[in-house]
Amino acid sequence: MMSGSGNQPALQRPNRRGIRAIIGAMLAAIALLVVVGVAVPFVKLATYTDPYRAKVAAAGYVPKTVQVNQVTLSYVEGPDNGPPLVLLHAQLLDWYSYSRVLPALAKSFHVYDVDYPGHGKTVTPADYPMTANRIGADLGDFIQRQIGQPVFITGNSSGGLLTTWLAANRPELVRAVVLEDPPLFSSEYPRIQRTIADRAFITSYTATKDHPKDFLLYWIHGNAQFFRNNVGPGIPFLLTVAVRAYRWTHPGQPVDIGLLGNDTVRMLVRGLGEYDPRFGAGFYDGSWNRDFDHAEALGRITCPTLLMQANYSTLPDGTLDGAMGKDDADRAMSLLKNGTYVRVDATHVVNLAKPTEFVKILEGFFQGK
């Protein structure tokens, strides 16, 4: 039996720094495998093409632009299959957010789906006032010059506020309106500070100070919890990867991330890529609604008006999570001279959440179908 002796080389214990380096390398390798395993399929899905692109084109919609005062207004126009209908999307979105209802609406209307200032491909001067009064005036001139006859209008969210403005201030251009879950009263300053929307408007406001090169990625970073809540954990990082991948494979095109199964979130990401944060900043500091009193405007509307209210809730701290509470809707109806109310069990963008029901409501109200 051999016993230990001084001639045997002594075993060296690795120092703590070396152990940490080894463990760190192992963890980095594991993290890389996890990220690659998740990100690769995510990036592949970033090349997804929404089937409604083809459906909208097949329905006869054509993208157009027209100069209205200082604005190069972008819109899509459908075939002349009925009375003119103007669509005004929600804030942060663009014309394509109506894609789920455009084919059906084209069968009985002559649709004009507009990117109003601050959104989509519409171009405004750098000093363009992002206010209801200025945007409403330009939209009125668009209807007068480009369409040339009274129209039906439906607007969602901020688009609903602009629809309210048009019905109140350009009544000769408006036959009837559908207000799709507009933030009446709740978006007026300082009331807006007690709404969930104000949290998103903070990002728009800070962007006007920070001047980020990429507002979409800036918004994803600033509202990471929104994506965790509505899509899933880890999504802010993966969404950033997917956005960059999509832009690389689709240069110059609006971002469309197929992995986002929630249509509203997908349309939000698309819209944010071409959004002017000055629009949202105007809600945050109150300037958007300056000299546009919601109650006064509602009281001046004489055309048939359908107020459509979607779901809402009130958080424990009293914050309104939604466009309008019951009191807001009741107040609006008390002011309308020719108003009808409908409650829809849907999220804020009803035309995305319940497209078939939305079309049925519009056809019934505007055309008596």
DSSP three-state, residue 180: strand
> Exposure of 335 by Cβ count < 10 A (0-12 exposed, 13-18 middle, 19+ buried)?
middle
CA distance readout (Å), 329 to 177, 308, 336, 358: 16, 9, 11, 19
Task: Name 253's Cβ contacts closer than 8 Å, sequence gap at least 6.
Answer: none
Task: Name 337's Cβ contacts closer than 8 Å, sequence gap at least 6.
Answer: 299, 301, 302
What is residue 17's predicted lDDT score, i.e. its pLDDT?
56
Query: At how many degrees (to 10) do helices 197-210 and 277-284 cross?
Result: 120
Query: 224-231 — which CB contacts under 8 Å span 24+ positions?
Result: 226/200, 227/265, 230/262, 230/265, 231/260, 231/262, 231/265
Kindly report the CATH class assigned to 52-367.
alpha beta
E-assigned strands of the chain? 62-68, 71-77, 84-88, 110-115, 151-156, 174-180, 305-309, 313-314, 320-321, 339-343
What is residue 64's predicted lDDT score, i.e. its pLDDT?
99
What is residue 231's predicted lDDT score, i.e. its pLDDT?
85
The pTM for the full model equals 0.88
Q: What is the DSSP letter of 262?
A: -
Mean pLDDT, the chain cut into blocks of 10 residues (369 residues total): 40 49 45 45 61 97 98 99 99 98 99 99 98 99 98 99 99 99 98 94 96 96 90 87 90 87 91 98 98 99 99 96 98 98 98 98 95
